[in-house]
Structures are given as structure tokens and as C-alpha cells.
């Protein structure tokens, strides 16, 4: 296992270095003539008012939360799926109940209008 | 030192360094990013433990999901860049962290405390002999994990309870958001009622020969002020 | 070894040869291993980067043909040198960083997105025995690493300190994270049938014992394949789910402020992710490198190109969806359907087993793989059709309600206008 991941570590480092080299090489080749107007943020030619770092809607948070819950539910199904051929028949029932509860959660969110984007 | 030990020290430094930066960063968004660095280090620790599935799950759930949740939460707050590293609660936080650290050190460390008949601390891990390398992770560990999820003598009950927990979390999340939604609904209703009253007035005996469009535009700014 | 075998195993022979050579020079040990892996990673990254250039050309050409244009035709024959011209432009173009940007975050985002897009290629089996590393959690690993792009996008949006960027990043992330759920859920039926998360094992399961291709999983699980594909299109942010770069609304989304090489890295990340989704689809549902006559790596390339062609086709044909439609499609259609599908596949795969060993262990009815495939196919199609029927009826109800509301408003307006009728003429 550890040795399997060694290549991924090497790949991570290699890819990062390659991309870094590309950006660095470009920085040697490209012209650099900054001017105040050029360095302004591009907001369709309007002059920028204030920072972009403002408050956002709570709906994004709710969506992210629903996503986290289903992500965790999905991840838990993976080991079961691998063991599917060796588990007894009643295991299907257990996982069906599990999925049924997840579905209930989804339906609850649906009913409450949490899945509505407006 | 073996390579694993070197890697362990490097990764631990990443995890701890990220953690320190989280609590010292003034900018909340940067703090969230350092938290992700810390999560990434934990992924590395799972790899060193030969737990590939958990490493990937850690990456997927913590870096791909929870960190997004945290960043969204950060964006909900005001003054993202003005975070104070300490507030009035720091003594309480210090006490709690010292206690938690002491408990963990007792559980894992070499010191044991005996209270009455029971010995606390200095846990001896199953299947590990001191001085010997830990036993290898079996090849079919994923299959065994999957089996244990549906076996009620092992984690079957916990597996189903997780689903219940997800359901409860969903209900809780929507409950928290509901307060705001309800307020919005009330405001919308109030606006609609006002609009209807206006229309009814227009539709009734004609007092103001204003075209509809003008009335609307005169009304709009007032409505938007009320909304905020 | 015959010529055909040599051609078929070309990749394996070359990679083994290089590994042997390095070991011969340095002697066996950690150094040799590291250098071999480094070379492998370098070659893999280079190949992917070249494929990325080819993809940009192919996409421009194909979409142009769909829209009755010619596409790039100036640089080289058929415009084949266009990607190189683009590359030169990217390298020599001035790269402006907004003065108010959050510098570290701004510069790190493109590097992170490109790096993690490339890392997924470490686990794809390109031919029998030719794979960066044969992880036993292959497909799960690919999905996990793919989720890193959300963080990078948020970093880009935040780092630019541009309102459109941040808004685009938020939209994009809400979309990406949403569609990760059906992606996860639709991989599960495949793992149920294959009994493994390893990509090589999944290919093996779709190959007959004599090396010829067996029944690909798309015939077992058409619904999963469809849902996975839709989720894949959304995950890579391509048309018709390209809300992140809706020019008319948010300029160009999270990468408005990027130019030059950093912009190129975003493009690379996007295309490499598309390529990764295409390869995963080809591996999970189309049998991967298994195929007759042609060498395995060519089969994989052909299947991947086919999937990518569908991507381009969609881009050339479909209009962009609305953000609320996007969310509804995910949470109200794909996710429930996938959950029902998993349950159905579990039950049917336990009832109808294909090996006597399984029958002896858990009972069930022994059938041939063809029969099992047919049963699952019918079940999948049935779920898909009934799901679509429910969606259609619901959409009809909503539409009728909307029409009724519009009609009633019109009525009210007419009444209001006729209120004036006594005095001034209605205008």
C-alpha cells in the first residue's frame, strides 16, 4: 500500500514542479509593463467599489451542508460495495435501510424547499 | 531512521504547522486554507499507516467537502480579514486544551494512572509487540471492512446509526436555515399584501389617473428598503 | 515473441526496459526506484500535456464543423499547429496580477488545479500491466483527487479580489460539489458487480478469460452510465453546464483576472479533468483497454476519444441550463434515481448470480452473464423511464400552474385597465 502510494507522491511532486517551471519560464519570456490602470480588477470597465470580500448568501452554506452529508453517506457505501460478493443476503436489507434513511433525508430537504435555488 | 519515520516527522510538521497557522492567521480565509494544509497532512499520515481507503476518504470528505463548508461559513461572516487571534474566552480555551491534551497523552503515552482497580493510560495495542514492526495490513482489508459494516456483531448498528445521524443533521441544518426563510416569507407576504392593496385601490373608483407603470416605479424603492 | 505481441505490449516493454536500464546503472535500491518513478511521472505528465494540446485542436475543429464553420486552418495543415501557436502566445503574453489581489492565494490556485488534475493519471491502466500504480481503491482515488479542484477554484475566486470572480467561484463550487454526489453514487453499482475499486480489476471483470472483451458494464448499467456521464459533464464544468463561465452574467467566472501562463494552467486543468472523466467512463463502462485485434492502448485511446467526442457534440448542440434547473436536475432527479438504482442492482445481483461458488455461499439463481446483463439492463431502463415519467408529470403540473398564474395576472390587469374604461380610453 505504502509503496503503491509512493508513485502518487512522486507524481504529485513532478506535476507541481512541471507546472511551476512552466509559470517560471513564462515569467522570463513575457513582457512586464504594469500600469495602474492595467492592474485594476476587471469589472466590465466600471471602477471597482470596495473589496469583493463581502458576505454571501446562507443558501450556499445549506447546499454545502447537504453535500457533505451525502458525501459521507456515499463514502460509507464503498467498502460494502467491494465486499458485496461475500456478504450474506440480509446485508442487502441493511444497506437498503441505510439508503432509505438517506432518501428520507433528501425528501425532507426537498419538502422544506431547501433544494430550491432561487 | 527509516524512510517512513522521516516522512512521518515531515508530515507531522506539516500538520502541526498548518494548525498553528490556523489559529494565528488574521485573515479568516487564510486560516481556512491552512486548515486544508493540515487536512492534507493527515491524508499523508493515513497513507503511512497503510490505510489507502481512509486516506482517499479523508481527502474527499475533508478537503473536498468540509473545507468547502468551512469556507462558505467564513464567507457568511462579516469582517473576514479582521479576525483576532484571541478573544475574551482564551483562558477557558487554554484550560480545555490542556485537559484534552492531558487525557490524550495519558491514553497513548507511557505513563499510567491507577484509580481504584482500573488502570488508565499506557494502552497496549492489540497485535503489536514492542520492538517489532507492526503486522502488515491484510490484502483483503477493504472486503473485511465492508463485511463489518453489515455485521451486527461488529459495526452494523453504527453503520445504520450513521445514516440516522445524517438524517438528524439534515433536519437540523434546515431547521437552522428555516428561521431566516420564514422571515423572508413573512416579508414577501407583507409586500404582496401592500401591492394588492395598491392594486385594489387602483381598480376601484378612479381617484388617481396614474398609469400602472409609474405607480410601480414609485413604489419599488420603498419596497426594496423595506426588504433589507 | 511475435511482432503482434511486441506491438500489443509496446508500452509494457518500453517501461520495463527503462526501469531495467535505470536499475542497471544505479543498482537496485531506493535511488533507482525513485528515478524510475520520476521518469515515469515525467513521461506521463508530458503525454497528458500533449494530449491536452490535441484536445484543444480537436474541440475547436469539431465544434466549428457542428456550427458550419471551418475552425483553425491557418497554422499548419488543417490548423494542426494551432495548439503550438496558442502555447507560444501563452508563454509570451504579459501576465498581469491585479494590484489588490491576495498574491499567494492568487498564484497558488492555478498550480494546484493543474497539479491535482495531472495526479489522477497515476492510476489509469493504459494497457495490461501498464499503470502508474495499481491502487486497490483506484476509482475512489480518482474521484477524491478530482474534488481538490473545488478548493483551488475558491482560492482563485478569492485571490483575484474581483466580485465577478468570487461570484463565479461560488456558483462553480456549488455546482461541482452537488454533482459529486451522483458521481459517487453511480460508481457504486459498477463496484458491486466488479467486486473491486481497482480500475485494472474493473477492466478485468469486463474481459473474458481468453483476453477478448466481455460484456461492458454500460450494457449492465445503462442508467448508471448515463447519470455518471451527466455528472461528469457537470463536474468538468463543460457546456451545457458551463455556468461558471457564463460570459453574459459573470464575465468569465473565477478566472477573469488570470492571463498568460496562469490562465493556460486553468485551461489545462479543465481539459485534463475532461480527459480523466472520459478515461474513467471508458474504463468503468466501456471495458477499458479490452478489445480485439488492435493493441490495448489504442483501444483505450479510441474509447476515450469516443467519449470526448460526445462531450464536444453536447457543447456544440445544447444551450446552457439555468442555475435552478442545474440544481434541480442534480438533487431531484439524478440523486434519487441513483439511490433507487443501487437498491435494485443490489437485489438483482444477489438474486441472479453468475458463479456456482456464489450460489453455494448465498443462494440465488444461477444464470449466464448474458442473462444477468439483460435483467439488469431491463431494470435500469425501467427505473430510468419511470423516473422520467414522474419528472415529466411534475413538470407538466408546474407548467400548468405557472400558466394559470400568468392568465390570472392578465385577468387582473384587464380588470384594472377596464377600471379606466369609463373615463380615459385604455391605452
In chain A, which residue's Cα lies nearest the Cα of B164? A101
What's the average model confidence in pLDDT over A59-73?
A: 87
The DSSP result for B168-221, as a single string, is HHHHHHHHHHHHHHHHHHHHHHHHHHHHHHHHHHHHSS------HHHHHHHHHH
**What are residue C353's phi and psi, to 5 degrees?**
-105, 155
Same-domain check for residues B81 and B150: no
Q: Does residue B19 form part of some domain?
A: yes
Q: Which of B123, B150, B182 is the last residue of a domain?
A: B123
Closest partner CB to B202 (pick from C155, C177, C416) = C416
B63 vs A: CB within 8 A: no
* Residue percentage of chain C with pLDDT more than 90: 34
Same domain, B74 and B95: no
User: What local confidence, expressed as pLDDT, does residue C131 receive?
Assistant: 80
Q: What's the pLDDT at C182? A: 93
- Is B39 within a domain? yes
Using a CB-CB cut-off of 8 Å, the residues of chain A touching B142 are 79, 82-83
Put simply, the answer to whether B64 touches C158 (Cβ < 8 Å) is: no
CB atoms within 10 A of CB C61: 20
Residues B76 and B15 in one domain: yes
The pLDDT-based confidence of C421 (bands split at 50, 70, 90) is: low
Q: Chains near A, with 3+ CB pairs < 8 A?
A: B, C
Residues B76 and B21 in one domain: yes
Please provide the size of chain A in residues: 118
User: Is B50 an interface residue toward A (CB < 8 Å)?
Assistant: yes
pLDDT band at C69 (very low <50, low <70, confident <90, very high): confident
Distance from C-alpha of C285 to C-alpha of C279, rounded to nearest angstrom = 10
Rounded to the nearest integer, the mean pLDDT of chain C is 86
Tell me, yes or no, whether B96 and B27 share the same domain: no
Mean pLDDT is lowest, of A30-44, C177-191, C305-319, for: A30-44
Output the pLDDT for position C424: 52
pLDDT tens per residue, chain B (228 residues)? 788 889 999 999 999 999 999 888 888 889 999 999 999 999 999 998 888 899 999 999 999 899 999 988 888 776 666 667 677 888 898 999 999 988 887 777 666 677 777 776 666 666 667 677 777 778 888 899 999 998 888 888 999 999 999 999 988 888 777 655 556 666 776 777 777 777 777 665 544 444 444 444 444 444 444 444
With CA atoms as reference, the chain C residue closest to B207 would be C420
Mean pLDDT across C368-385 = 92
Nearest CA in chain C to A83: C195
User: How many Cβ atoms are within 10 Å of C237's Cβ, its own excluded?
Assistant: 22
Number of domains in chain B: 3
- Is the C-alpha dihedral spanning A42, A45, A47, A51 positive or negative? negative
B3 touching A, CB under 8 A? no
The pLDDT of residue B220 is 41
- Domain CATH code at residue B77: 1.20.120.1200
Residue-level pLDDT at B123:
65
The three three-digit cell numbers of residue C415, written as one number = 380588470
What local confidence, expressed as pLDDT, does residue C184 receive?
Answer: 93
The sign of the torsion formed by the CA atoms of C102, C107, C110, C113 equals: negative
Among C37, C112, C152, CA closest to A11:
C37
To the nearest whole Å, the CA of B151 is away from the closest chain A CA by 8
CB C212 within 8 A of CB C369: no
Same domain, B93 and B53: no
Name C100's Cβ contacts closer than 8 Å, sequence gap at least 6.
A41, A48, A51, C161
Name the DSSP class of C68.
T
* Window from C189-203, C298-312, C357-371 with minimum mean pLDDT: C357-371
Mean pLDDT of the region C293-320: 89
pLDDT tens digit sequence for C322-368: 878 888 888 999 999 999 999 999 999 988 888 888 777 777 788 88
The Cβ of residue A94 has, within 10 Å, a number of other Cβ atoms equal to: 20
Domain assignment of residue B223, yes or no: no
The domain of B36 spans 1-85
Among A55, A76, A104, beta carbon nearest to B167: A104
Rounded average pLDDT over C165-180: 84
pLDDT reported for residue B73: 84
The alpha helices in C67-132, defined as continuous H runs, are 82-92, 103-119
Instruction: Tell me the shortest Cα–Cα distance from B105 to chain C, in angstroms.
Output: 32
Write the DSSP assignment of B102-168 as a string of letters.
HHHHHHHSS-EEEETTEEEE-PPPTT--TTSPPPPPPTTHHHHHHHHHT-TTTTHHHHHHHHHHHHH
Integer CA distances (angstroms), B216 to B184, B195, C339, in order: 21, 9, 48
The reply to whether B132 falls in a domain is no
Same domain flag for B23 and B94: no
Kindly state whether residues B75 and B55 are assigned to the same domain.
Answer: yes
Using one digit for the tens of pLDDT, what is the confidence trace for C203-252? 988 888 777 788 899 999 999 999 999 999 998 888 788 766 655 555 56
Mean pLDDT, range C305-311, rounded to an integer: 94
Residue C153 has pLDDT above 70, yes or no: yes
Evaluate whether residue B219 is within a structural domain: no
- Does C296 score more than 70 pLDDT? yes
C172 has pLDDT over 90: no
Q: Are C422 and B206 in contact (CB under 8 A)?
A: yes
Contacts of B224 (CB under 8 A, 6+ apart): none
Over residues A86-108, mean pLDDT = 92
Whether residue B104 sits in one domain with residue B24 = no
- Which cell is C113 given? 488545479
B150, A95 Cβ separation under 8 angstroms: yes
Instruction: Report d(CA A7, CA B160) in Å as an integer.
Output: 36
**Residue C177 and residue B65: Cβ atoms within 8 Å?**
yes
- Of A50-54, C76-80, C318-322, the least confident: A50-54
Q: What is the DSSP letter of C365?
A: E
In a domain, B221, yes or no: no
Inside any domain, residue B180: yes
Residue A80 CA, chain-centre distance (Å), reads 24
Do B59 and B46 share a structural domain? yes
pLDDT in the model for residue A53 = 60
ipTM of the complex: 0.89
B195 found inside a domain: yes
Amino acid at each position: 500500500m505504502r509503496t503503491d502510494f509512493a508513485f502518487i507522491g512522486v507524481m504529485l511532486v513532478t506535476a507541481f514542479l512541471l507546472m511551476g517551471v512552466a509559470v517560471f519560464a513564462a515569467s522570463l519570456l513575457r513582457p512586464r509593463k504594469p500600469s495602474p490602470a492595467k492592474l485594476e480588477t476587471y469589472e466590465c470597465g466600471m471602477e471597482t467599489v470596495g473589496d469583493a470580500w463581502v458576505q454571501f448568501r446562507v443558501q450556499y452554506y445549506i447546499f454545502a451542508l447537504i453535500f457533505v452529508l451525502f458525501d459521507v453517506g456515499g463514502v460509507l457505501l464503498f467498502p460494502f460495495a467491494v465486499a458485496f460478493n461475500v456478504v450474506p443476503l440480509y446485508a442487502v436489507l441493511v444497506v437498503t435501510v441505510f439508503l432509505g434513511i438517506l432518501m428520507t433525508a433528501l425528501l425532507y430537504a426537498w419538502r422544506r424547499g431547501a433544494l430550491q435555488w432561487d | 531512521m527509516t524512510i517512513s519515520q522521516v516522512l512521518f516527522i515531515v508530515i507531522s510538521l506539516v500538520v502541526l504547522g498548518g494548525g498553528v497557522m490556523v489559529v494565528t492567521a488574521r485573515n479568516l480565509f487564510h486560516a481556512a486554507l491552512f486548515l486544508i494544509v493540515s487536512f492534507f497532512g493527515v491524508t499523508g499520515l493515513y497513507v503511512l499507516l497503510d490505510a489507502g481507503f481512509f486516506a482517499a476518504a479523508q481527502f474527499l470528505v475533508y478537503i473536498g467537502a468540509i473545507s468547502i463548508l468551512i469556507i462558505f461559513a467564513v464567507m457568511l461572516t462579516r469582517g473576514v480579514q479582521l479576525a483576532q487571534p484571541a478573544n475574551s474566552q482564551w483562558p477557558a480555551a487554554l484550560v480545555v486544551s490542556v485537559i484534552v491534551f492531558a487525557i490524550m497523552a495519558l491514553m497513548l503515552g507511557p505513563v499510567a494512572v491507577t484509580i481504584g482497580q482500573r488502570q488508565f493510560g499506557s494502552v497496549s495495542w492489540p497485535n503489536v509487540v514492542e520492538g517489532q514492526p507492526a503486522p502488515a495490513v491484510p490484502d483483503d482489508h477493504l472486503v473485511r471492512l465492508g463485511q463489518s459494516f453489515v455485521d451486527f456483531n461488529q459495526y452494523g448498528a453504527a453503520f445504520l446509526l450513521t445514516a440516522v445521524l445524517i438524517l438528524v443533521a439534515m433536519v437540523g441544518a434546515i431547521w437552522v436555515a428555516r428561521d431566516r426563510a420564514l422571515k423572508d416569507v413573512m416579508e414577501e407576504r407583507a409586500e404582496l399584501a401592500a401591492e394588492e392593496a395598491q392594486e385594489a385601490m387602483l381598480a376601484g373608483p378612479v381617484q388617481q389617473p396614474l398609469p400602472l407603470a409609474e405607480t410601480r416605479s414609485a413604489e419599488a424603492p420603498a419596497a426594496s428598503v423595506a426588504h433589507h | 515473441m511475435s511482432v503482434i505481441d511486441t506491438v500489443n505490449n509496446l508500452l509494457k516493454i518500453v517501461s520495463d526496459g527503462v526501469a531495467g536500464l535505470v536499475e542497471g546503472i544505479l543498482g537496485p535500491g531506493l535511488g533507482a526506484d525513485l528515478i524510475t518513478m520520476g521518469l515515469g511521472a515525467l513521461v506521463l505528465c508530458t503525454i497528458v500535456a500533449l494530449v491536452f494540446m490535441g484536445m484543444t485542436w480537436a474541440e475547436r475543429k469539431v465544434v466549428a464543423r457542428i456550427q458550419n464553420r471551418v475552425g483553425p486552418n491557418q497554422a499548419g495543415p488543417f490548423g494542426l499547429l494551432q495548439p503550438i501557436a496558442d502555447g507560444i502566445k501563452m508563454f509570451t503574453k504579459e501576465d498581469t496580477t491585479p494590484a489588490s489581489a491576495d498574491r499567494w492565494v492568487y498564484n497558488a490556485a492555478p498550480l494546484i488545479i493543474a497539479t491535482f488534475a495531472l495526479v489522477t493519471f497515476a492510476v489509469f491502466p493504459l494497457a495490461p500491466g501498464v499503470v502508474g500504480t495499481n491502487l486497490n481503491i483506484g476509482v475512489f482515488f480518482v474521484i477524491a483527487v478530482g474534488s481538490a479542484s473545488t478548493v483551488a477554484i475558491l482560492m482563485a475566486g478569492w485571490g483575484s479580489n474581483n466580485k465577478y470572480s468570487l461570484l463565479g467561484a461560488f456558483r462553480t463550487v456549488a455546482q461541482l460539489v452537488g454533482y459529486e454526489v451522483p458521481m459517487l453514487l453511480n460508481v457504486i453499482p459498477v463496484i458491486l458487480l466488479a467486486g473491486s475499486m481497482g480500475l485494472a480489476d474493473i477492466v478485468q471483470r469486463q474481459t473474458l478469460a481468453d483476453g477478448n472483451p466481455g460484456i461492458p458494464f454500460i450494457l449492465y448499467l445503462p442508467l448508471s452510465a448515463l447519470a455518471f456521464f451527466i455528472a461528469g459533464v457537470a463536474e468538468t464544468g463543460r457546456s451545457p453546464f458551463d455556468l461558471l463561465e457564463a460570459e453574459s452574467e459573470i464575465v468569465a467566472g473565477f478566472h477573469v483576472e488570470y492571463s498568460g501562463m496562469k490562465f493556460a494552467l486553468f485551461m489545462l486543468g479543465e481539459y485534463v479533468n475532461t480527459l480523466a472523466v472520459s478515461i474513467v467512463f471508458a474504463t468503468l463502462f466501456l471495458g477499458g483497454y479490452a478489445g480485439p485485434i488492435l493493441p490495448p492502448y489504442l483501444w483505450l485511446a479510441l474509447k476515450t476519444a469516443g467519449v470526448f467526442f460526445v462531450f464536444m457534440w453536447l457543447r456544440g448542440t445544447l444551450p446552457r441550463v439555468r442555475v435552478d434547473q442545474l440544481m434541480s436536475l442534480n438533487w431531484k432527479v439524478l440523486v434519487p434515481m441513483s439511490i433507487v438504482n443501487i437498491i435494485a442492482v443490489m437485489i438483482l445481483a444477489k438474486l441472479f448470480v453468475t458463479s456456482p461458488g456464489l450460489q453455494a455461499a448465498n443462494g440465488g439463481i444461477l444464470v449466464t452473464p448474458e442473462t444477468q446483463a439483460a435483467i439488469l439492463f431491463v431494470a435500469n431502463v425501467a427505473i430510468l423511464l419511470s423516473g422520467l415519467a414522474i419528472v415529466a408529470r411534475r413538470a407538466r403540473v408546474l407548467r400548468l400552474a405557472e400558466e394559470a398564474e400568468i392568465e390570472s395576472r392578465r385577468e387582473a390587469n384587464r380588470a384594472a385597465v377596464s377600471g379606466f374604461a369609463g373615463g380615459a380610453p385604455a391605452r
